Amino acid sequence: MAANLEEKTDRYGDLLAEALEEATVAPRADTPLADAAAECYEMAESYLEDGRHFRKNDDPVNALAAFSYGHAWLDAGARIGLFDVPTEGHLFTVE
């Protein structure tokens, strides 16, 4: 079971890092929605940093939770139009 947790934690960390690279703010910069997108993106980045900290300190459970929360911020933002993201592939659930 521990091996599965380690693998899953690493996979979700990689997924979040890749998703952050692919997501771009969709709304015009001079709108409140652009501010909301920036805040969501910042939350995802913060959770990636937190997850890496937990992973480095041999805490895969909290690392996995942080990576999952971070990806949820991006994925939810993509679903409501805050981010332009790839619609094909494994990074996001938008169609």
| DSSP string computed for 12-68 | HHHHHHHHHHH-EE-S-TTSHHHHHHHHHHHHHHHHHHHHHHHHHTT-HHHHHHHHH
Rounded Cα–Cα distance for residues 68 and 64 (Å): 6
* pLDDT (0 to 100) of residue 27: 96
* DSSP 8-state assignment for residue 72: H
Topology given in CATH for the domain delimited by 2-84: Substrate Binding Domain Of Dnak; Chain:A; Domain 2 (1.20.1270)
pLDDT along the chain (95 residues), means of 10: 85 97 95 96 98 97 98 95 91 83
pLDDT value of residue 2: 63
At 93 the pLDDT is 86
Domain locations along the chain = 2-84
